[in-house]
Every structure is written in structure tokens, then in C-alpha cells.
Structure 1
Amino acid sequence: MANDELGEIRQAILSGDPASLGSLAVPEHYRGVTVHADEVDLFEGLPTKEKDPRKSLHVDEVPTPELGPGEALVAVLASAINYNTVWTSIFEPIPTFKFLKKYGKLSPLSKRHDLPYHVVGSDLSGVVLRTGPGVHRWQAGDEVVAHCLNVELESPDGHNDTMLDSEQRIWGFETNFGGLAEIALVKANQLMPKPDHLTWEEAASPGLVNSTAYRQLVSRNGADMKQGDVVLIWGASGGLGSYATQFALNGGAIPVCVVSSQEKADICRAMGAELVIDRSAEGYRFWKDEHEQDPKEWQRFGAKIRELTGGDDPDIVFEHPGRETFGASVYAARRGGTIVTCASTSGYLHQYDNRYLWMNLKRVIGSHFANYRESWEANRLIAKGHIHPTLSKAYPLEETGQAALDVHLNAHQGKVGVLCLAPEEGLGVRDQQLRERHLDGINRFRGA
């Protein structure tokens, strides 16, 4: 890190004097992980799985954006990889520059985001450097994490639930200046207190997936899970599913964890889940070919669930793979049950037999990220040690492309972190006593 001003900022944070940040100069440039508008055709003609994020994600020196009203600049110690960064890096389903161009037309201030490069990333842990006019809750030196809801709130639509706002966007995906960088620009109402017992990289990893899983499963805006509910969780050891599994266990529900290997099954059991289906070992093939599903496999899958639960079908299906599994999910949910869906990492065009939905009075609920209150509650559970990070590995900023490739190829467990200003792992813990009580949970995914 050649930037002397960033070196001073990092030293102030690591030496335990973050309050001095207010007197330090904000650097004019910083390093950020970017995609480039002139490379959107880089992977044209290649199958999705052959598109390599290492070729499209660059670590560039970029100008520090102007700080506007209601905003904050954050010195980023660590960040993490989400599927939206993978999608950005392979320019699917569309290049994110279309999002930035649309946002840039909204106002003179939002025009800052419409650039020929996109600084990506929707998670961070760090320290506030500066706040813009109108910000009073946060100040320079505050240790924070950020959730990724960027919302304008000038429309009445968002004032009951900010996720319904007409100008709701995901920061670092549909906006610029994201968290995979040494500095990030956020709205002040994205900030939340960093959990004191976690390292920078651990604290950065829950953000997007933890909040998403909370709304999808726990919130009244999602499945409104209650004690005793049987919850079928696809990808239960992955980024989203690992938090859904923890929320189910913490909330008195009964998770049925679906995974794709014995190693992943072992992680679910280590979290406390007793009912686990290794879909690879069972050999489920829900599609006969590219065009036709196999209802007999749905039936075999449903029978396996009832075998594990003592005859109960799922009250809730936690859906995020999408095309590959959605038909089985609709079939498997109990009469009157709920399928709550987001993400669609295996494909957006879902097919299912509507007879199982309509004749059995099931519901499909679409769920997207979380509002500030839901994100705050999800982060509070992390801070109290009820829910734990699922970080398995952390890469330096220079190797973000490899980190994204791991997620792209599903060659990871839980979350993959990225060190930004943090020079090494293990820094940033403020409450060692609370940490010691939860070390097993915090480290459960490490090395997996």
C-alpha cells in the first residue's frame, strides 16, 4: 500500500487510536476491486462456469468519491464475496454498468456512480473516516459494519418497508464505490456497530447473507418462522443456508439441511442440526434432461424428508438455488406451507407443477435482502453471540479474483473473506471474554 495517507489511517486504527481519524487527511485515491465497462464482452460465447472472475476483476487505484449529505466514507479493513460480485464479474445476467447508468440519471449527486469502472463489493467492516452533512449518529472513529441496502426514501412506497422503495438498490452491485476496497462510500443508514468479539474479517462476512436469511426466514416480511416449524434448507452449509440453519436452531425450529457432500453434512451437524440430506449420496436428479423434470424424484425426496422428521412435511422451504430445485421445493412443502425464495443461483426461470401449489394452498414468497431494521436485528444477534460468522477462508485484496472464483465454482464453504486495509487476519477483537465463550462457533467453518 503505497498511499502514505492510507498508511497513516491504517496505523491509527491498528494502534487503537481511531478517534484521531478525524484529524487525518482523506486520501485522494485508494485501491478498489473493479470491473471495466470496456470488457463487458470479455466472456462472450463462453458457458457460465467457464467465465473466470480472475480475468475481469482488477485492483485499480481509483479517485475517492465526493462525500454527499447523509453519507459516510469508511476505511475498509475487510470485506467478503457474495454471489452478486460473481455475477458482476462475469457480466451476467446483464453488465452492472446498466444499473450505474440508470442510477446516474436520478440526480446530480447520483451521477457520481456512472463511471467506466465499477468498484464492487456488498460487505464491509471498518472505521468511519468522514460523515456528510446531516449525519449525527455516526462520527469519525466509529467501528462499523455495513448492510447493503441503498435507498433514497423520497417515495412513499418505502416508508412502510424500505425494500419496497421505488429507488431501492443493492450497494456495490447496483451502485458504485463498494466494499471490496480500501475506502467505501455508504449512506449513513447502512451503518451498524461492529460486533466487538469478532475480527475484522469475521465481522465483514455475515452482512449480506445474514440479513437476507433473517428477512427470508424470520421476519414477518418473509416466512415468519415460529418454534417447531420444520424448515427445509437448501445449501445449508453455504453462504445463505448456513445462516438459515443457525436462525432455525436459534428460533426453536427444526431444520432439514440439504447439502451436496459428506463434509458439508458434517458442518451442519456441528452447527447442531440433526436432520441432514446429502443429495449427492442419495443421487437425486430432479431433471430428466434440460427441459423436463422428474416428479418421481420429487416424491422420493419428499419421502426422505418424512423419514427424517417422523412423517412431517416442511412448513417452510428456504429456497435459493432456483431452477434446479424449485419444482421439488413446491412439491415438498406441506399443505398450506410456504416456499420463500431469493437469488436463483442455478437459474432464474423456475418450473413447477402448479397443482401442488394451488390445490394444497401453498404460498410462494419472494424475498430480497432486508430493510434497515431487519439488518440491525440480524447484526444484533451476531453481536450477542447467538449467531456466528461462517467464514472459511480469507484472501488478500490482490487475490479477490480467486476468492470470487471459489464462490463461482462452489469450491467453498460458508463465506469467503477479503482483507482490505487489515494487514493480516485476527485483528480487531475488542471483547476477548465474549469471544472465548463462542470460539467453537466462530471457527466452525475455518479450513472447511
Structure 2
Amino acid sequence: MCDLARRTRTNADIPIRKAGRNAAGTTHCGSNSGKVPGTHVSAASVSNTAPNPAATPPCSLNVHPMRRSLTQRPFPATTGPHLAVNRPDPAAYCGLMLVYAPAALLLLFFCVSVLHDRRKFSNAIVLGLAVLCALAAWLYELIRSESTSGAVAAWALLTLGAVAVLLLTYFLFVNGVRMLRKEGRSPTNLLSLGAALAIVGVVALLAAAVSVRNPVLIGVAAATGGLALYFSFLFLCFVCYAFLYGRLRVRRKADFVVVLGSGLIGGSTVPPLLASRLKRGQAVHAQLAKRGGSPLLITSGGQGPDEEVPESHAMADHLVAEGFPAHLIRREDRSTNTEENLRFSKAIMEEAKPDYRCVVVTNNYHAFRAALTARRVHIRGQVVGSPTAAYFWPNATLREFAAVLVDYKRINVVLCSLIVLGGALVWWAVR
């Protein structure tokens, strides 16, 4: 009985022991102090380093291992470099926007201008300026970053420019020789060869100015280099926008398809160049007819001094021979150049339908200049191009570019005069 009494604990003993333990408050375990598990533990009383088990005697209380680990676990630091956040700098973004703002504004103006009227040479200039501004902004950002990428990009552009000049010179020279063999020695067939020789002359003049360092030669080289850059920029703008313009689709219905004429072979035979225009005219007519219209096709071209019949008549006969309905053809047989082609065709269209819309067909190298002329004579319509032989395209494009320069001769004379004046100022500065 006594042994059973010693082993048995009454319900009254349990609260007494709990009360005694709570009254003690804390239990000391060696050098570490802490509250009894189950009580509140403040962050200030917890050490950030784990205790050394060898230096700390075992605690007399049976504290649960999980609760002991909670009291010994260090709290993470609330500050430090690992919590720093790399937030974007608003000033850097504003600076980047300002650098690219001119290019963005020019591109926006280009899009609005194209939507308003595609047939403007200013569209080509604005597009070229937008590309130049974007390229300059990109180079500025690379140089400002103070890294080697800026110097690498600058040298890469210079290298690409030099290689492009060499390749262009070689291409123009080869094309010029081929034009002489295939088309004869007329002045208009010498443009490719003349352009190649002009590039060689400019490069030689610049090299001589750098090596000799003569003030007069430096001034002449500065003026010549400036003119070369000016005409190169205009030519690139012309070619790139002409390429884009030739790929714009006809966006409206049209009442007429006008095919511009060219010279005849033997005085009465349609050459392949003109046959390509007529084929494209038939395709455009069929496309417009599918949209529900019934357009008429106008063949435009007068009779030259070495031709037996007017070009428009030979063109109409060629179309009829190809199966095109004769009653849908109208002939304009008084014109002698592109502007007269469009003016006289305009009179026919206005007489038949005052509020007409038309599509003018010519070769692809001639399409953009014909569009500029159509805008000048107030033709309501778009110009499309037909394919041209690859060897003929470079020389013909140079001829069209020269004609555009003549059309805008006033502004070109003024700007070229300013460039020459700049060369004179260079001579004055180095003499």
C-alpha cells in the first residue's frame, strides 16, 4: 500500500507543482538564461549566434527540441546590402527618351505624311533623317556608357562604310561596262560608269588632301566631300523610299488604268520594256475589275520622229493581240514625255468622269518619279511599277534620280552653295 501510495499522484499535487514552477519564473542553464517554454520570448533576449553545447551544461528542464531551436535561431538582419533593390533611375529614362525623341518625332511625321499623300519626295527625306537621328542616338548612348562597345561600334561603322564604298564602286563600274555592251554608247547609258569614276575621284582627292595638307586642297576636298555626302544621302533616300513606294498596294477603286509609253523598236514594234508595262497594266485592270468596277485602260504615248505609228496605237494593238477587249481601250497619242503623258491622259479622264480615280503603270525604276510628276499635275491616283531587267535598273535609277534633282533644282542649288561656302570657310581656317 505504501509503495502504491508513493507511485500515485493525486490531482491536487499537479496544480501545486505547476504553480511552483510558474512562481519560479525562469530557469538558469549555465550561462544562458531563458524563460520557461510556453512563456513569451522577446527578440532582445535571443542571441544571434547559436550556443556552444560543450560550454553550456544541460538544462534541468525537458524543453522540447523544436522550441529550443526557435529560441536559438538568429533573426535575419533588417538592413544590409543583400536587401538593396536596384530600382530604375527615372532620370536615366528621361535622358534616353530625350536622345531618341528626334528620331521618334520624325518617324511619326513620316507616317502621317505617307497617310496623307504617298507621292512626296519629302517623305523620303524625313525617313532618311529619322534613320540618321536614330543611329546618332544609338552611338551617343554607346559612347556615354564609357565602355569599349562605343569605340567598337564606331570602328565597325567606319569599316562597313569603307567596304560599302568599295563594293558600290566595283558594282557600278561592272554595270557601266555591261550597259555599254548591251545598250550602246549613248550619254544616258554612261551614268553607272560615270558614278563609279566620280567615287574614285572623290576618294583620291580626300586622300591627297590628308597627305599633302595644302590649305587650298583641303578646302576643295572639304567642299567636294560635303557635296558627295549630300548627294549620297539624297540618293539613298530616293532609292529606299522608291522601293517602299513600289510595294504599296492600290488602296482604292479606280476608274482608269493609264499605261505610259516608251520608244518603239523599228518604228512600230513594242519592246520588252514596254511589254512589261502593258502586262502589268492588264494585271491591275483585272484586279480592279474583281472589285466590282469596270475601268478603262488608256495607252499614252505620241509619235516620235523615228517612229511609224504613235506609241499608244502600237500599245493598243499589242493588248488586243494579247486578248484584251478593244472596247475598253482609249488612246492618248499627243504626248512626248512623262508630264505630257499625264496631262493629256488627265484631260481624257476628266472628260469621261470628273471625279475619277486612276492607277498609272510604268516600270519600277520610273514609278516614284512618275508619282512625283502625277502629284505636280494634280492626278488623282497612284503609280505602280512593272519589273525591269536587272542590268538595266542601276543606270535607269541614276537617270531618274538626276531628273528628280533637276525638278527640285532651286533648293538643291541653295544647299550646294552653302556646302561650297563651308569648304571656303575650311580653307580660311587652315590657311
Decide which structure has the larger Cα Rg and report it. Answer: 2
Q: TM-score, normalised by structure 2?
A: 0.26
- Name the one with the larger helix percent: 2
TM-score if structure 1 supplies the norm length?
0.25
Structure with more strand by fraction = 1
